Structure 1
Amino acid sequence: MNVQQKNLVTLLAVALVAGGLGLYAYFGVMQPEQQDAQRKQAEEKVFAVQSPGEPGTDGGTSPEPVFTWLSVDVAQGKTVMELQDNTWRITSPVSALADKTEVSTLVSQLSAAKFKATLEENPTDADIERYGLKQPRATIMARAYVPDAQGGGADDPARQRSITVYLGLENNFDGSVYVRREGDPRVYTAQGGLRFLLLKHTNEWRDRVAFPVEEPSLLRIEVKARKNAFVLERATTEKPWKLAQPVELRAATGQVTRMVSALNGYRAISFPEPKHEEKVRQALEKPLAQATFVRKIGGPVRVRLTELELDGVKQTFALSEWDSESMLSQVDSLALNALELEPKDFKDRKVLSFSVRDVHRIVIHPAAPGGETISVVLAPDTGKWEMASPMVANARQFKVASLLGSLEKLEASAIGESSPKSWSKYGISDTSGGVTLQDAQGQEVARLRLGTPVKGNPQRLWARGSSEDVLEVEKSTLEALPLALTELMDGAPAASGTP
């Protein structure tokens, strides 16, 4: 073996020794240190749902643990909550929906809560009593599973975890709370916020949405209140609302939305005490107001409200029933007003009912006798608007489009008399100033007739639109419409005008 070969063998031997030392350092020193660090991290967590060294949130290689069952036993009582079909429910002492925000906050706190310090490694009975843990102030039990890489594991017994934690007295020095964990003899301190979060009565964990209805999901609304009764309906959720009873007329969607939103906004103030519940239910058999909301998806939501004097105080109660759910609660007395509406309150305030695509001719009638009538037509060959009278010319396309858009959105400020015997007392006749919209065959699509100023409110004009109601329309809104020849004709100087 020559010198070069000897040197190569020496280098290989050194490399093998170095590699062996490296492997020894990793498996003999580094890996145990990492395991100790993982074990320490797991022990620092109050709810350590993962075993030390198990891949998970501490190692950053799997999703967060999923809590499925919670029991909170405090001085105010014991509350048991369970995740069913991705929805948290209270299963004891009552059966009710849980407040998803409150439970979500609790789960987040439990997932993140860590011990601040270890006070006693092997506490005596006297120590346990001194820290308020012999008879704990609160007992929290939780069940969770650690998801696998695919997010499953809910039914895998090997991935299930059950943890019980006891909370004792508060440390007045720093606001922390003394804690023990089942199966662990040590006494710890933990953040005091955990204790405040858990010291709640069952009712504080309950969902307080007393009226689970939203206008976009509804197809029919039936209401019977103290003074009025009405039915609203629509063919699909994309169609406009109409009043079906006691009279038929198109309804103002905004008013329907406001009614449903107002009712939905009233939350449960509290829940009847068990000793009063039967009396409240009896009163609800003859409600002051009741409503049925038919949804596109799911069964109807039935709501009943009543007033009852309990312990010398008049209170308003509501019973809502939908699908397999039921909620009996005390609500604000103003919730009754949300349903106490007159049919006329739903009258659509839109002045004209038409679709822009149906309009092929616009005729502007002058307000003053002898004034010029202006006509704008949609040319069938070019699809562009053209002036037809009092002269032939090109029209300003964007001005015509603006006029039609404004007329389509025009709303009355108030609705007056319906089907008056004489429109003339409002200054309205067949020759009144205004605008007529016609289709391709020359048939009238819609017409706006303007009358005299409203008595007592000269800033408004009486008007007649697509309905048989007398309307009040703001003069300023009408003056903003491009109704003058100089505004509509291409090449003419812009100017404002009124009919």
Structure 2
Amino acid sequence: MKFKNTGLLLLLLVALAAYVYFVEIKGKEKAEKQKEIASKLLSFNKDSLSTVVLNPAGIKFKKENKQWVIVEPIQSKTESWVINGLINSVESAKKERTIAEDQASFADYGLQPAKHEVILTHNGKTDTVFIGDKTPTGTYVFARVSGDNHVYATGTLLLTNADKELFDFRDKTALAFDKDKVDKIQLILPERKIEVRKQDGKWYLMRRTQKILADEGKIEQILNEVHNAKAKKFVSEKPERLKKYGLSPAKYEVALSATTNGGIHTLQIGKKVDNTYYARDVSRDPIFTVDTSLVKQLKVSEWDLRQKKLADFLSYQADYLELHLPKQTLICEKDSTGDWRMVQPDSGKAKSWKISSLTSNAASLKAQKVVEEKPKSLKKYGLDPPQYQIICKKEGKTIADIKIGKQIGKNYYATGDLSPAVYLIKKEDVDKFNIQFKDLLEEKSEKE
């Protein structure tokens, strides 16, 4: 009997728990969800939307491949965050207060005609949200929904996102391209043509007979500027004459190529107007204006883009420094603890901060001018043998080999390991290496 009673008691407890869960908890959740739906100005599933029309702007949006595009009055990609902002504001709009209940009052609240209409097509049905005046306090805006004669007060975010023009919604990207896939850049400027290519992960300036290592930072700067360039104003959707905009021929042209997929993306820039320039993406019809900052970035010479460093390494990477000076040779290397020690001309613990300063100065050496790209002889520049030589290594591998020769005025001839060219570098930069070995050594203790 005891077991039978216990079993019945357990069944009653399970039934009670099920009742509490399904009736009390789930029922409460369902009621709260229904209450939330009822509080919304318009309840709909955002994912089910197929078209959105915004009036009186006369803009029609259509979802294609899960992306919103403009199909009227023009065909264009959208600024996704702007159209999504409009949709989200409609979806989240709530009936904060009921203001009126009859159609005769619509005009009193700016709803006949409405200031704005948002027409949503979803799941085969169409709903329209009408937006009117702001409330006297400006805290809310009057709104109503098709099929409902009630006038409600709702948040002003709905009005903010609906009170926009075509320009706000359309994609303003001047030139769309995948920055990471670009491996060739052609710049056509008023004074010159420049071509750079990416080979084995490095950028090179291309000439007929040679290629010159480019400054990756400068190339990235140009790519970023073009990639981030936005249209400030759309001037003509389908221009009949490009010449009036200075685009036939263009004053400036940047062509970006990706050999992996064969795509070429070209931006042309023409006349200057009101602190902007006319421009066009050659794959599209519209003429638009771009900021002057873009043109400033494109006004470059080969010298601006070439790598001016004599060696490409970071100071902290060096664990060996060999410094050949006019009257002495200094050799320092890091021990197993990472501290610098001198091994020539004396031995002992070195002042690590001073050695690090020397490797940093070597890493920072930059050319001021190209003297000769491919010299047949280095002797006339005092570079064979050099007056100074700076060698840095990392784990036995040379990461910098810089030679410095004769002084000429306030400069020295120099060459590095990134190019065979002979450059001029500043005398003040060379003077930083004129140091006595005693200045690099820590004072020895009596034990030493």
| TM-score, scaled to structure 2 | 0.75
1:66, CA displacement in angstroms?
A: 2.9
In 2, Cα distance between the equivalents of 1:428 and 1:284? 51
Aligned twin of 1:351 = 310
Aligned to 1:471: 424
Aligned to 1:433: 387
- CA shift in 2, pair 1:377/1:203, >3 Å: closer
The match for 1:119 is: 99
Provide the secondary structure at the position in 1 that maps to 2:196: strand
Structure-2 separation of matches of 1:359 and 1:177: 66
CA distance, structure 2, for counterparts of residue 232 and residue 107 of structure 1: 44
**What whole-Å deviation, never above 9, does each CA across 1:308-342 have from its counterpart, x for those lacking one?**
77xxx7962211256xx776421124433322211
**Which residue in 2 is equivalent to 1:211?**
175
| Aligned with residue 277 of structure 2, among 311, 316, 320 | 316
What is the CA–CA distance in structure 1 between the aligned matches of 2:309 and 2:20, rounded to whole Å? Answer: 84
Cα distance, 1:181 vs. partner?
Answer: 1.1
Q: CA deviation at 1:249?
A: 1.0
What one-letter code is carried by the residue in structure 2 that aligns with 1:415?
Answer: K
Matches within 5 A, 1:157-176: 162-176=126-140
Q: Root-mean-square deviation (CA), in Å? A: 4.8
Q: Which amino acid aligns with 2:40?
A: K
Aligned to 2:202, what secondary structure does the other structure show? coil
Shift of 1:165: 0.9
Structure 1, unmatched stretches of 5+, are 51-64, 145-156, 456-460, 494-499
- Higher mean C-alpha deviation, range 257-266 or range 339-348: 257-266
- Give the superposition deviation at 1:395: 7.5
Q: Distance in 1 between matches of 2:73 and 2:371?
A: 57
* Match status 1:295 vs 2:250: no
Measure, in 2, the Cα distance between the counterparts of 1:412 and 1:438: 16
Aligned partners of 2:299, 2:20: CA distance in 1, in Å? 82
Residues 450 and 462 in structure 1, CA contact (< 8 A), matched pair in contact too? yes
Alignment of 1:320-469 (within 5 A): 320-321=281-282, 328-352=287-311, 363-367=322-326, 371-375=327-331, 389-390=344-345, 393=347, 402=356, 406=360, 409-412=363-366, 414-415=368-369, 417-418=371-372, 428-430=382-384, 432-437=386-391, 446-449=401-404, 451-452=406-407, 455=410, 461-466=411-416, 467=419, 468-469=421-422
> What is residue 222 of structure 2 aligned with on the other side?
259
Distance 1:399 1:326, change over 3 A: farther
The residue identity in structure 1 corresponding to 2:218 is Q
> Structure 1 pair 333/296, CA: closer, same or farther in 2 (3 Å)?
same
Cα deviation, 1:123-157, whole Å, max 9, x if unaligned, reads: 13x2223333232221112356xxxxxxxxxxxx6
Kindly tell me: are residues 102 and 484 of structure 1, through their superposed partners in 2, closer, same or farther at Cα, counting changes over 3 Å? farther
**1:46-104 CA distance string (max 9 Å, x none):** 23116xxxxxxxxxxxxxx43644524333x2112234334332222111121123223
Q: 1:228 to 1:328 in 2, by over 3 A?
A: same
Q: Distance in 1 between matches of 2:290 and 2:207?
A: 28
Work out whether residues 321 and 359 of structure 2, in 8 Å CA contact, stay in contact via their aligned partners in 1: no
SS across alignment from 1:41:
helix
Q: Please tell me the residue identity of whatever aligns with 1:218.
A: V
Deviation at 1:200, TM superposition (A): 1.3
Q: Which of these residues, 134, 143, 154, is aligned with residue 179 of structure 1?
A: 143
**Aligned with residue 485 of structure 1, among 433, 437, 442:** 437
Check conservation: 1:412, 1:474, Cα contact below 8 A. no
Aligned partner of 1:40 in structure 2 is 35
State the 1:429 CA deviation: 4.8
**Aligned AA for 1:78?**
G
Does residue 306 (structure 1) correspond to residue 267 (structure 2)? The answer is no
In percent, how many aligned pairs have the same letter?
Answer: 15
Give the distance between the partners of 2:332 and 2:86, measured in 1 at CA.
Answer: 66
Query: Does residue 73 of structure 2 align to residue 73 of structure 1?
Result: no
Which consecutive residues of structure 2, in runs of 5 or more, have no partner in the other structure?
none
Partner Cα separation in structure 1 for residue 257 and residue 402 of structure 2: 36
Secondary structure in structure 1 of the residue aligned to 2:270: strand
Residue-by-residue CA offset, 1:266-324 (whole Å, 9 max, x unaligned): 321110145x7323477534111112112376522211111177xxx7962211256xx
Query: CA 1:90/1:483 → structure 2, altered by over 3 Å: closer, same or farther?
Result: farther
Q: Letter of the aligned partner of 1:118 in structure 2?
A: T
The secondary structure found in structure 1 opposite 2:157 is helix
Question: Taking structure 1 as reference, are residues 471 and 30 closer, same or farther at Cα in structure 2, changes over 3 Å only?
Answer: closer
Alignment check: 8 A CA contact 1:136 1:166 kept: yes
Residue number in structure 2 paired with 1:149: none
Q: 1:443 to 1:79 in 2, by over 3 A?
A: closer
Q: Secondary structure at the match of 2:217?
A: helix
TM-score under structure 1 length normalisation: 0.68
Does the CA-based 8 Å contact 1:74-1:200 persist in structure 2? no
* Aligned counterparts, 1:59-98, within 5 A: 65-66=46-47, 68-75=49-56, 77-98=57-78
Moved more, 469-478 or 135-144: 469-478
Aligned to 1:202: 166
Q: Distance in 2 between matches of 1:106 and 1:436?
A: 62
Contact 1:242–1:249 (CA under 8 A) maintained in structure 2:
yes
CA shift in 2, pair 1:445/1:138, >3 Å: closer
1: CA distance between counterparts of 2:259 and 2:439? Answer: 46
- Write the deviation string for residues 247-277 of structure 1: whole angstroms up to 9, x where unpaired: 5211111221222233344321110145x73
**Which segment drifts farther, 462-471 or 432-441?**
432-441
Query: Contact between 2:368 and 2:424, CA under 8 Å: does it hold in 1?
Result: yes
Match of 2:44 in 1: 49
1:242 is aligned to 204
Change in 2 beyond 3 A, CA 1:180/1:413: same
- Alpha-carbon separation, structure 2, partners of 1:171 and 1:74: 21
Sort the Cα spacing of 1:119 and 1:452 in 2 relative to 1 into closer, same or farther, 3 A: same
**What is the distance in 1 between the residues matched to 2:266 and 2:329?**
55
Q: How far apart are the structure 2 equivalents of 1:71 and 1:268?
A: 24
How many Å apart are 1:182 and its aligned residue? 1.9
Change (3 A) 1:295 1:142: farther
